[in-house]
Structure formats: C-alpha cells, structure tokens
Structure 1
Amino acid sequence: MKNAFPYTFRLATLNDLETLVTHRFEMFSDMGMGEKMDIAAMRKAFIPWVKAQMEAGTYLTFLAEQDGQVVAGAALMLVNWPPGHLDASPMRGYLLNVYTHPEHRRKGLARMLVDQVMDECRRRKIKALSLHASEHGRPMYEKLGFQNTNEMRIILGAET
C-alpha cells in the first residue's frame, strides 16, 4: 500500500548548504528577479553567511523531503530585536526563503513548513514573526493570520 502522504520533514544541516542557496535563487527567480541577480555573487556571499548563522543557531531551515530528496523548505532567522510595543522579548523571528519545487506545489508543503516555523517561535516564546511575501505567497500567509504592516525601505547606494 502506497503512503498517502509521501513527505518527511527535518531540519537542515550544514550538508544542505547547496540546497539552501539553490532554493533562495529559485525563489527569487520565481518572483521574476532571476535576471536581475548575479547568482555567482549571491552564492559566494550567501553560503558563508548562512553557514555562520546556522553554526550560531540563529538560522534554522525546515525541509520537506520525498524519497530522500529535498523538495521544499522554509527558514527562520532569529533576530536580536529591542523590546518594544509588540513584545518585551529581545528576540523576533523572520520567515524567509520559503520555496517548493514546482512539481510538489499545491500539496500543502509550504503551509506545513510555515506551521513548523511558527511552532518553533512559540516553543522559543517568540511572539513577533514577520516576512516579506511574494504576490503568490500572500494568500497563504493571510490565511495563517499574517497582516500587512507599514514597513518602508530604501536601497542606499543603488543606481536609479
């Protein structure tokens, strides 16, 4: 009898660095930013950064696998944040790099991975979890209770 749900979940290890950088690039590519990215420069900068963050315990990636192959992931960055009106705790969560391989989409994997990130935040007593949503991902995040905020941004030194 075939397993009705053929996916397993685990935390990423340092052995998954190439997968994490590939997911990050593919995520941006799916949002139409692939041509604007220098993949070699991003890879060169991201791998040592994420390795150091993972070793420090401030970056966790929850992965979904099928038959030993990683097919989806969602990361949680733990951010030291000044206590404020949302939470007196000096820690916040930031959800990023949510990606599912195209042939595994529409099966609930992203939602299950985001649920795991939210559970990890609850376990750590982190109340504030934020993210930047793509247009494609926004409906899922809204269903989970995420709300739009008033964040603004400037890219300093960027050419106009």
Structure 2
Amino acid sequence: MEQSFYTVRPASTADLASLIELRAHLLDGTAASYASRTPEDSASWRAAYRAWLASKLGVADNVQILVAEHQESGQIIGCATGLIDQRAPAPGSLSGLSGWVQSVAVAPQWRHRGIARQLMQHLLRWFANRGVASVSLQSTEAAGTLYQALGFAVSNECLLIRQEASA
C-alpha cells in the first residue's frame, strides 16, 4: 500500500511516550501470556521499557526501533523493534547472527493501511544489511497472515517460556 500519509524513521527519545502507548496495545488488557495482569504490572513494564528505550535509542547498533509518523500531524501511529543476537552458528545462520522482531504495533484507528507491512519491510532490510539470515518473531493470530506474506513460516518448534516472578 502507498505510504503517502506517513513516514517510517528511526525512533528518537522524543518518541518515548508514543512508543510506550503503542506497546500498551500489546501488553495491557490482552490475554497474551506476556501481558500485564494488574495496574501495578502495567506501571512496572512501562517504567522498565522507558529506561530500556532511553538506553538503546541512537546508541545500540544491534537494536533498531522504528516509528511511523503521520506526515501532517506528526503523531506516531506505529512502531516496530528489531534486535540482533549473536548465537552459535547453525545451518540457517552460519554467522550466528539472529534477528528478533518485537513490539510491532499500530494505533487501532490506523490499522489495515499497510503501516505494519512498511515497518516490517524496513526492519527486514536493516537485518539483511547487517548479514542477519534468520529472523524470528512471536505473532498474534491476526497478524500471522502479514508475516507469512513477508516470508515468515510457522515453526514446528515448541516455544517454551519459563518466567520467574520479578524481583
């Protein structure tokens, strides 16, 4: 879809509040295993995420945080994060570089206009330019079609999570 009304760009510290609110669509009030369950949970992840963003934006070469900015209003209407890990080499990744996509979120009133697709295409180019051959993500069922159209395949691996209570 044509992106005439928004621009995809790297996030800056000026975008912190918008990034937190967009991620809240994924972490607050959903049935996901990783979602906050109480107002205290929500306040805790928000504070921790703000600190994490502040430490990564513009400094970490292995992290790319993108935003979709509405051209007329300047409102941040979408975001996506890419992370690069160094793992042991494997057949699909001889360099050991492994990409992970998280926090792909679009404000509800702007969904189904190609924004998530554009954010993902930018992230996939970023990964490719850094020699990352394998990129993973965890998806909601609703977004699965988009990711499959971008070349992601459902894995036959079982995702197991061990989560300890926060200290």
Q: Same fold (TM over 0.5)?
A: yes
Secondary structure of the residue that 1:120 maps to in structure 2? helix
Change (3 A) 1:151 1:85: farther
Counterpart of 1:65 (choices 64, 69, 92) is 69
1:31 and 1:134 in contact (8 A); partners too? no
Distance 1:4 1:20 in 2: 20
After superposition, the CA RMSD in angstroms is 2.1
Q: Which amino acid aligns with 1:21?
A: I
2:29 and 2:43 map into 1 onto residues whose CA distance is: 18
Name whichever structure is richer in helix by fraction.
Answer: 1
Shift of 1:58: 2.4
Q: How many residues align?
A: 156
Unmatched runs of 5 consecutive residues or more in structure 2: none
Q: What is the identity, as a one-letter code, of the residue corresponding to 2:49? A: F
- Deviation digits for residues 73-113 of structure 1 (CA, Å, limit 9, x no counterpart): 11101112221121111321111100111111111110111
What residue is the counterpart of 2:159 in the other structure? 152
Identity among equivalent positions (%) equals 25
Q: Mind listing any 5+ residue stretches in structure 1 that lack a counterpart? A: none
Which of 121, 128, 131 is matched with 2:134 structurally? 128
Alpha carbons 1:11, 1:61 under 8 Å: kept: yes
Matched residues in 2 for 1:63 and 1:35: separation?
A: 23
Partners of 1:18 and 1:151 lie apart in 2 by: 34
Amino acid at match of 2:159: M
TM-score normalised according to structure 2 size: 0.83
